[in-house]
Chain A
Amino acid sequence: MIKVENLNVWFDDGYDRVDAVRGASFNVNQGESFGLVGESGSGKSTILRAMTGLAPTWSGRIEIDGLALHGHKRNRDFYKTVQMVFQDPYASLHPRHSVDQVLGEALHLQGFRDIDTRVVKLLDDVGLDRKFRFRYPHQLSGGQRQRVAIARALAGEPKVLLLDEPTSALDVSVQAEILNLLTDLREEHGLTYLMVSHDLPVIGHMCERLAVMKSGEIVEVMDVTQLRQMQAKHPYSQELIGVSVAH
């Protein structure tokens, strides 16, 4: 479903060149949930942003659903196939748009006409009561906002969801609700997940396979049973697992 080969992403503002991602390669199969872990600044988000065309300069090869991507322009088919959920639910909703407006606009842009019925269905899908439909973001809690953001991502019935630390701004109790919701949605809609987190237990809970990143490079790709049995090969992955288990 997702194929990334030798991906390099850099930010170039004249004087300083930041090589945020260097030579990253991995594959995600149809219906799989794949995790990217690493400390902040290791380039996890940058990989997602390069896929979605939000990071302008990259080289290498990215293929999604059999289609190779080029540059930072994406077409309508891409937006129908791939959607993203952002880290901070307080920053990813327009402060002046109600839930109804947010979902209605996404549905409109995805070319649907029966917007009213679909807004209600989306709210049901993400487990939000209908009474929240006309509220504004400041009238919602963090968890409710993240549900709205997930509903927006689901509006175009995508096949792939890119999840950028979807729960790291939330309380653990709310995190559990959102992770359960994501588990359910993957089953119901047959979604493929590419999930970024700095929290190893969260990735271990959600993903079948994962890649460990350190300063822009993928140091190891392993599957979750290896992770649970602490069979990481690279010393950095071992260290990361050590810290998470000590807790």
Chain B
Amino acid sequence: MNTPTSYRAWLLTDAPTSRNHARLSSFYKGWLSFRSNPMAMFGLGILIALLLIALFAPILAPHDWQAQDLSNRLQPLGTPGHILGTDSLGRDILSRLIEGTQITLYIVTLVALIAPVAGLLVGTVAGYAGGWVDVVLMRITDIFLAFPRLVLALAFVAALGAGIENAVLAISLTAWPPYARIARAETLTIRSSDYIAAIRLQGAGPFRIIIKHIWPLCISSLIVRVTLDMAGIILAAAGLGFLGLGAQPPSPEWGAMISEGRRFILDHWWVATMPGLAIFTVSLAFNLLGDGLRDVLDPKDGDSQ
């Protein structure tokens, strides 16, 4: 039982022997099909690296991200001691990027927790309840959808005040409506299916049906959507930072760094380009991950052998 092959066979079984075995087994099969997609693995690798960097930022950073050295300002790439150069205040760009990873992950995590959950709640309740509940909830969703995302976020930040937390809140508030739309559309098809009719005949109430039967089917497509949207979310946060409404100056948030570097973009291009590249890499990683997850989670493909 302890050799690797028998472990594998145990996980790949067609006849699980307990609840946990079944869960582990289907998880492992999902992992196997995810693993066979090299691009998705590449994306996952980048994100894990990012996580580790964020975790060990103080150790990894070659310099103090706040330390200014005005005699050493705007050094180009490859300067000894400052591989990615320095910014207008002589701070080491690499160290600031590393430190900024934490902020980026913080924003991404919070938005990813708030927006899809809100969208799922609104969408599934609207779709399952139907009638006036549906009409009211979907009109509200439409109102939010009608505004361009960044403009709406700007309005919220202007009302709530600048700062990362408010930026996150603003982005989440603008990000949920598409999720509500997706969740509602899926709920409409799920609602009329035979397995929902069957569980209603056992006497299940609407909350039980929504939470235990509809959510598990909506969540997978939402996860995929969220990872694909992640790039947009990072960019929105960076955009707010760039406009001076997100993270505030000394903070090494990537968008704010681009904003600072903008003034020197012609003579000292790397100051704005390096954080730009970081944003690009992370966005790409999330997109690749999302693509891979879609293959694993999409029940249409999952059903064929």
Whether chain A touches chain B in the assembled complex (some CB pair under 8 Å): yes
Residues of A bordering B, CB below 8 Å: 52, 54, 76, 79, 82-84, 86-88, 91-98, 100, 105-106, 109-110, 131-132, 134-136, 138-139, 149, 152, 155-156
The 6 closest A-B pairs by CB, nearest first: A92-B194, A134-B22, A134-B16, A79-B203, A131-B15, A86-B194
State whether B195 touches A135 (Cβ < 8 A).
Answer: no
Cβ contact within 8 Å between A95 and B299: yes
A152 to chain B, nearest CB (A): 7
With A106-B202, A109-B202, A156-B202 in contact, do A136 and B26 touch (Cβ < 8 Å)?
yes
What are 10 A-B contacts with C-beta separation under 8 Å? Answer: A52-B197, A79-B201, A82-B201, A83-B202, A87-B194, A92-B198, A105-B199, A105-B202, A131-B15, A138-B302
Q: Is the beta-carbon distance between A155 and B202 smaller than 8 angstroms?
A: yes
> Contact: B203 with A95, CB < 8 Å?
no
Q: A95-B303, A105-B204 are in contact. List 8 more A-B contacts (CB 8 A).
A: A91-B193, A92-B197, A93-B195, A95-B217, A100-B19, A109-B202, A110-B203, A139-B14
Say yes or no for B139: interface residue by CB 8 A criterion: no
Contacts of B18 in A (CB 8 A): 134
Residues of A within 8 A of B19 (CB): 98, 100, 134
- Inside 8 A of A86's CB, which chain B residues have their CB? 194, 197-198
A84-B198 contact given A134-B18, A134-B19, A136-B26, CB 8 Å threshold = yes
Q: Is the CB of A152 within 8 A of B203?
A: no
User: Are B197 and A76 neighbours in the complex by a CB distance under 8 Å?
Assistant: no
- In whole angstroms, what is the CA distance A96 to B16 when docked? 15
Which residues, 205 to 227 on B, are CB-close (under 8 Å) to A? 212-213, 216-217
> Which residues of chain B are within 8 angstroms of A84 by Cβ–Cβ distance?
197-198, 201
Given A91-B193, A95-B299, residue A149 in contact with residue B14 (CB < 8 A): no
Indicate which residue in B194, B202, B299 contacts A110 across the interface (CB closer than 8 Å): B202
Query: Considering the complex, which residues of chain B in the window 1-56 have a beta carbon less than 8 Å from any beta carbon of chain A?
Result: 14-19, 21-22, 26
Task: Name the contact of A96 in the complex, choosing from B199, B200, B202, B217 (C-beta under 8 A).
Answer: B217
Interface hub of A83, A94, A98 (most chain B Cβ within 10 A): A94
- How far apart are the CA atoms of A94 and B302 in the complex, in Å? 14
Complex Cα distance, B204 from A84, in Å, reads: 15
B203: chain A residues at CB < 8 Å are 76, 79, 109-110
Bound CA–CA A79/B205 (angstroms)? 12
Q: When chains A and B are docked, how far (Å) is the Cα of A136 from the Cα of B217?
A: 14
A34 to B198, CA, bound (A): 21
Q: What residue in chain A is nearest B199 (Cβ atoms)?
A: A105
Bound Cα distance from A244 to B91, whole angstroms: 88
Whether A91 pairs with B22 at a CB distance below 8 angstroms is no
A110 to B202, CA, bound (A): 7
Q: Are B204 and A109 in contact (CB under 8 A)?
A: yes
Contact A54 B202 (CB under 8 A): no
The answer to whether B302 touches A91 (Cβ under 8 A) is no
Give the residues in chain A near B17, CB-CB below 8 Å: 131, 134
A56, B14: Cα distance in complex, Å: 41
CB-CB under 8 A from A98, the residues of chain B are: 19, 22
CB neighbours of B200 from chain A (8 A) = 54
> Of B14, B199, B212, which one neighbours A135 at CB under 8 angstroms?
B14
**Cβ A88 vs Cβ B194 within 8 A:** yes
Q: List the B residue with the shortest CB-CB distance to A82.
A: B201
Contacts of B212 in A (CB 8 A): 105
Instruction: Name which residue of chain A comes closest to B21, CB basis.
Output: A134
Q: Is the beta-carbon distance between A149 and B16 smaller than 8 angstroms?
A: no
Q: Which B-chain residue is minimally distant from A162 (CB atoms)?
A: B201
Closest CB in chain B relative to A33 CB, distance in Å: 20
In the complex, what residues of B have CB within 8 A of residue A76's CB?
203
Task: Enumerate chain A residues within 8 angstroms of B26, measured Cβ to Cβ.
Answer: 136
Q: Which of B185-201 contact A (CB under 8 A)?
A: 193-195, 197-201
* CB of A120, distance to nearest CB on chain B (Å): 13
Instruction: Write the B288-305 contact mask toward A (1 if CB under 8 angstroms, else 0).
Output: 000000000001001100
Measured in the bound complex, the distance between the Cα atoms of B192 and A47 in whole Å is 17
Taken together as a complex, chains A and B put the C-alpha atoms of A136 and B14 apart, in Å, by 9
A153 and B201 alpha carbons, distance in the complex (Å): 9
User: For residue B199, which residues in chain A have a CB less than 8 angstroms away from its CB?
Assistant: 94, 105-106, 109
